[in-house]
Amino acid sequence: MKTLFVNGTLMRGLKLNKNLDGAEFLGEFKTKPMYRIHTIGDVHPGMYAVEEGGIVVPGEMYCMSDAIWQRVEAGEPPHLYCGPVHLEDGRVVDGILFPKEEAVKHPDISSFGGWREYMATKE
């Protein structure tokens, strides 16, 4: 079983959440204030860790079988990868990250506080 923190289109009610069908929703969580997020073509966020100037990123946590994880991984856009995410409660869990060198080519949306908050400005 794999536990995964998600902060973009895999969250409930969003475009890729169906890829998590069968996974157990564990709740809403927040990261430590050590991340930046960018919009990648308004299709998905790209989150990466920083030494300073980071924000708290809201997201959701799921527990899933290897088969569901394979489906999630296969459905992720280019460059996204699974890596360590530091939660505000002190745990370090797997999460969906994006390479900083790719993210900085796109608009920084960290000031919005999260993907849902940013996308709400687009409606």
pTM: 0.94
Our count of domains for the chain comes to 1
Regarding beta strands 35-40 and 24-30, do their DSSP bridges make them parallel or antiparallel, or are they unpaired? unpaired
Please list the pLDDT of the chain residue by residue as tens digits (123 residues): 999 999 999 999 999 999 999 999 999 999 999 999 999 999 999 999 999 999 999 999 999 999 999 999 998 888 999 999 999 999 999 999 999 999 999 999 999 999 999 999 987
Looking up residue 56, the CATH number of its domain turns out to be 3.10.490.10
Domain that holds residue 85: 2-120
